[in-house]
Structure 1
Amino acid sequence: MPIFKRNPFGHILFLKRWLIRFFGIVSHGRYRRFNSLQIEGSEIIRNLPETNVLFVSNHQTYFADVAAMFHVFNAALKGRDDSIKNIGYIWKPKLNIYYIAASETMKAGLLPKIFAYAGSVSVERTWRSEGKDIKRQVKMSDISNIKKALNDGWVITFPQGTTTPFKPIRRGTAHIIKTYKPIVVPIVIDGFRRAYDKKGLLIKKRNVLQSMVIKEPLEIDYENETFKEIIEKIQFAIEQHPSLLKVITPEEYKQQEDELNKKRKFWS
């Protein structure tokens, strides 16, 4: 491979590889020492094609969620079963993994810009900017870039477009699915919000049981299912459908916390 070979976005693969290696080593302890990441479904990753795969997930932090997925995907491809032990898997990472992120987020400082080079497909949000609600047209270049990423490899998206739970799925996700017909793999994560700050850069709490469940690809009739039907299917798959929302009392919340603490003791 030529040292200056580039991906479809013009990023030098040699540099991208070393960025993923470096940040993989730096972040590994977050999921193995400071906290514990429990994984289900690694075998599904190994059975996916090289391109045109769209991962849809709920969202809890800006960066920790994606970093964990990079670890889990690469570990699974190197034969790890529901584990990220032995970080040697990061030496030859899969370089065509991308994630969709808001341009506003990825331009907010040097570190996000470096993260963007490692695999971001940056898009302009059509509904919110700089903390304010807005309405603007979808940029065709954003859609084109998502297509480019799917043609080259795997794409991770957080279809709610926010870290706030139980927010609606954005219609654009269904549009991408109907237009490009990717294999759609749901992922459900938990524990990241408790463990890290909103950006996912600072460890807020240790000994948190984090989880990542990779589910079987969705069965989608690309031609006949409506946007609404696809959106509802995703909502249930990533466990964010409004019908699953339950208002609990402080006593019930405390009981759930006690049960989580028992699990943490078990896994440790």
Structure 2
Amino acid sequence: MGLFKKNPFGHNLFIKKWLIRILGVLSHRRFRGFNELQIDGSEILKTLPDTNVLFISNHQTYFADVVSMFHVFNASLSGRDDNIKNVGYLWNPKLNLYYVAAKETMSAGLLPKILAYVGSISIERTWRSEGKDVNRQVKMSDISAISKALDDGWVITFPQGTTTPFKPIRKGTAHIIKRYKPIVIPIVIDGFRRSFDKKGLRIKKKNILQTFEIKEPLKIDYDNESIEDIVEKIEYAIEQHPSFLKVLTPQQLKEQEELNEQRRWKS
């Protein structure tokens, strides 16, 4: 790779590679050390094409979620099976990996700007701005940027657009799926909200079990399924459909309490 080669967004790949290496080394113990990231399904990543793959996930913190994905994806592609042991997998990271994030979040401070250079597709939220509810049109330049990223590689998105659980899925994700027909891989994460602050920068509690499940590609009839159909599939796939709020049976409650005990903060 030449020193001056750039990606479609004009980011120097040599600089991007070193930023991923440095940030990866600095963040590694957050997922393997201070806490323990339990991964399931990483073998699926090894079967995927190099471009036009869209990852959809629930969202728990601004930054830790996507940082964990950079670790898991690169570890898997370098031969690890459901683990991020030995941070050497970051020596040759996947450089055509992007994630969708709010523009105002990625421009608020030096660290977010560095994280943006690593792979952010920064878009203007149509429903929220500067802490207030808004209602504005989707910018075509934002849609074009996501299309460009899919053409170049893999894209991570959080279709709820918020870290608050069980909020509605934004239809924009379904429109992108229907229009560009990517392979859609659901991811379900947990434990991040308990172990990090809302931004995902400060460790709030240690010895938390963090879970990271990669699921099989969604089966989607791109031509015949409606936007509403795809939205519902996304809700179920990332386990954010209202039905997941159902009352638990005594046995399920006991199992949940046992799992929470593993996730409990141990001083």
Q: TM-score, normalised by structure 1?
A: 0.94
Distance (Å, rounded) in 2 between the aligned partners of 1:262 and 1:216: 26
Q: Assess, with a 3 A threshold, how the Cα gap between structure 1 residues 259 and 176 changes in structure 2: closer, same or farther.
A: closer
Query: Where does structure 1 differ by over 6 angstroms across 4 or more consecutive aligned residues?
Result: 252-255
- Deviation digits for residues 193-252 of structure 1 (CA, Å, limit 9, x no counterpart): 00000000000000000000000000000000000000000100000001111478xxx9
Contact 2:210–2:263 under 8 Å retained in 1: no
For 1:53-72, list aligned pairs within 5 A: 53-72=53-72
Q: Which runs of 5+ in 2 are unaligned?
A: none
Instruction: Please say if residues 191 and 263 of structure 2, whose CA atoms lie closer than 8 Å, have aligned partners that are also in contact.
Output: no
Aligned to 2:192: 192
| Distance of aligned partners of 1:16 and 1:165 in 2 relative to their CA distance in 1, 3 Å threshold | same
Q: Which residue of 1 aligns with 2:90?
A: 90
Find the aligned partners of 2:152 and 2:100 in 1 and give their Cα distance.
Answer: 14
1:180 paired residue number? 180
Label 1:239 to 1:167 Cα distance change in 2 as closer, same or farther (>3 A).
same
Structure 2: how far apart are the matches of 1:180 and 1:41?
25
Tell me which amino acid in the other structure corresponds to 2:113.
Answer: K
Matched, 1:108 2:108: yes
Structure 1 unmatched ranges of 5 or more: none
* Cα deviation digits, residues 83-140 of structure 1 (max 9, x gap): 0001110000000000000001001111100100000000000001011110001001
Q: Secondary structure in 2 aligned to 1:68?
A: helix
- CA distance in 1 between counterparts of 2:191 and 2:142 reads 31
Report the Cα offset of residue 255 of structure 1. Answer: 8.5
Distance in 2 (alpha carbons) for counterparts of 1:212 and 1:261: 18
Pairwise mapping of residues 168-247 of structure 1 onto structure 2 (< 5 A)? 168-246=168-246
- Please list, as runs of the form range in 1=range in 2, the aligned pairs for 1:28-43 lying within 5 A after superposition: 28-43=28-43
Aligned residue in 1 for 2:128 = 128
Provide the rounded CA distance (Å) in 2 between the counterparts of 1:72 and 1:22: 16
Q: Deviations over 1:6-52 (max 9, x none)?
A: 00000000000000000000000001100000000110000000000
Q: What is the CA deviation profile of residues 48-104 of structure 1, one whole-angstrom value per residue up to 9, with x for unaligned ones?
A: 000000000000000000000000000000110000001110000000000000001
Distance 1:214 1:57 in 2: 9
Matches within 5 A, 1:66-81: 66-81=66-81
For the residues of structure 1 that align with 2:208 and 2:178, how far apart are their CA atoms? 38
- Does the C-alpha gap of structure 1 residues 200 and 254 become closer, same or farther in structure 2, counting only changes over 3 Å? farther
Per the TM alignment, residue 260 of structure 1 is displaced from its structure 2 partner at its CA by: 2.2
- Matches of residues 159-170 of structure 1 in structure 2 within 5 Å? 159-170=159-170
Distance 1:132 1:253, change over 3 A: farther
Q: Superposition RMSD on alpha carbons, in Å?
A: 1.7
Asked if the contact 2:184–2:217 (Cα under 8 Å) also holds between the matched residues in 1, the reply is: yes
What is the match of residue 10 of structure 2? Answer: 10
- Tell me the TM-score normalised to structure 2 length: 0.95
Note the 1:15-26 alignment, pairs <5 A.
15-26=15-26
Shift of 1:259: 3.8
Shift of 1:253: 8.4
Q: How many matched pairs?
A: 262
Q: Partners in 2 of 1:140 and 1:227 — Cα distance?
A: 18
Tell me the distance in 2 between the aligned counterparts of 1:254 and 1:56.
Answer: 30
Cα drift, residue 264 of structure 1: 7.0
For residues 264 and 88 of structure 1, the distance between their equivalents in structure 2, rounded to whole angstroms, comes to: 30
SS of residue in 2 equivalent to 1:118: helix
Give the SS at the match of 2:204: coil
Tell me how far apart the structure 1 counterparts of residues 36 and 239 of structure 2 sit (CA, whole Å).
21
C-alpha distance in 2 between matches for 1:204 and 1:46: 33
Determine helix, strand or coil for the equivalent of 1:114. Answer: helix
Which whole-Å CA distance do the structure 1 matches of 2:132 and 2:144 have between them?
26
